[in-house]
Copies of this chain bind each other. A is one copy, B any other.
Amino acid sequence: MSRVVKLAVIPGDGIGPEVVAEAEKVLEAATAASDVTFEKTPFSLGAGRFLDTGDTLIDDDLAAIAQHDAILLGAVGGVPGDPRLKDANIERGLLLKLRFELDHYVNLRPSKLYPGAAGPLADPGDIDFVVVREGTEGPYVGNGGAIRRGTPQEVANETSVNTAFGVERVVRYAFALAERRRRKLTLVHKTNVLVHAGGMWKRIVDAVASEHPGVDVDYLHVDAATIFLVTNPSRFDVIVTDNLFGDILTDLAGAVTGGIGLAASGNINPDGAFPSMFEPVHGSAPDIAGTQKADPTAAILSVALLLDHLGLGDEAARVTRAVEDDIAARDATPRTTAQIGDAIAGRVRA
């Protein structure tokens, strides 16, 4: 009864390959004793590929990736200000294109302050919440344009597009998640200013809430939410929010829980029509690429999300526990990327 999982691996740019190597080690360790085997296909995509070939993500890549059961991604993006990348928007052309084309409508970003992890807050309390960020709509749709570009009369617009279809499905996912957690759901938006989009989000949350009487629902404007993230982060359990607000809140959440070196994410297509994609929240950090200074923990925790998504809950739990133990044991001694990966893989095997 062995099961084969086809995994597309996109190491990407900068520290991407280094952290993905450790994530693969841990994946291997976590599933060595199981009857699951991973059939991995590497995809060379990112700024590097663009510089070599001029391509960002061509249809053939996309079609090939879509044949897989899941995707593990490191980080993409070249050196900021590289003139050769001036007109290449790797983020839009690759990362966002994958999220949109593979209908990753749930961008799942857990935030947990692990014992031993040092965040910037003096008195953080227990932090353990999940941001369910919408992944396929909002200001991310690429529906913008400019006229009279480069002149004093330029007008540049960006349109946030939101649909009841898109909002309802992610809101339903968030409520289901809240039911499995502490049964608290917070909608974050800016309804007093973005009255149409915000109004629709609010109405849909209220409607779905009536089907979940056991879930305690509240609402915060995005500005107020950032205040609570630093003054009372333990008030949150599940946050559901739009694509842009989710982007902002999860970087901040990563910072308050010890840095985005620890923040994992899943870009999920819950329907299973397309492979879901797991990636650290951090970027490619080209300034430290190749130095073995990157912390692979976020990539490793993304493997835990991947395992969970594949229904391998026990294996996922072993990875998370190994990371927790590793973080609790951390001291000031510097370790290389590989040393951290080896240590965590060792704990998973133990």
Contacts and interface: CB of A to CB of B under 8 A. Distances in A.
A311 interface: no
A255 interface: yes
A144 to B, nearest CB: 4
A227 interface: yes
A197 B144 contact: yes
Interface of A: 89, 91-92, 96, 120-123, 139-140, 142, 144-146, 148-165, 168, 190, 192-197, 199-200, 203, 222-224, 226-227, 229-231, 244, 247-248, 250-252, 254-256, 259-260
Contacts of A120: 121-123, 230-231
A123 B156 CA distance: 40
A139 B164 contact: no
A230 to B, nearest CB: 5
A315 B177 CA distance: 55
Contacts of A251: 223-224, 226-227
Nearest to A96: B193
Contacts of A194: 139, 144, 158
B160 A158 contact: yes
Given A120-B230, A144-B195, A227-B252, A157 B161 contact: yes
Chain A to chain B: the 6 pairs with minimum beta-carbon distance, closest first: A223-B251, A154-B164, A144-B196, A226-B252, A122-B122, A156-B196
Contacts of A89: 192, 195
A195 B146 CA distance: 10
B160 A155 contact: no
A163 B254 CA distance: 33
A155 B159 contact: no
A193 B140 contact: yes
A113 to B, nearest CB: 13
Contacts of A140: 193
A282 to B, nearest CB: 10
B244 A190 contact: yes
A256 B120 CA distance: 11
A224 to B, nearest CB: 6
B150 A203 contact: yes
Contacts of A121: 120-122, 230
A196 B139 CA distance: 12
26 contacts: A91-B192, A96-B193, A120-B121, A120-B122, A120-B123, A139-B158, A139-B160, A139-B193, A139-B194, A146-B199, A152-B164, A155-B162, A155-B164, A156-B200, A157-B161, A158-B162, A190-B247, A193-B244, A222-B247, A223-B251, A223-B252, A226-B255, A227-B254, A227-B260, A230-B230, A252-B252
B92 A192 contact: yes
A248 B226 contact: yes
A249 to B, nearest CB: 8
Most buried by B among A120, A142, A162: A120
Contact of A256 (B154, B165, B197, B230): B230
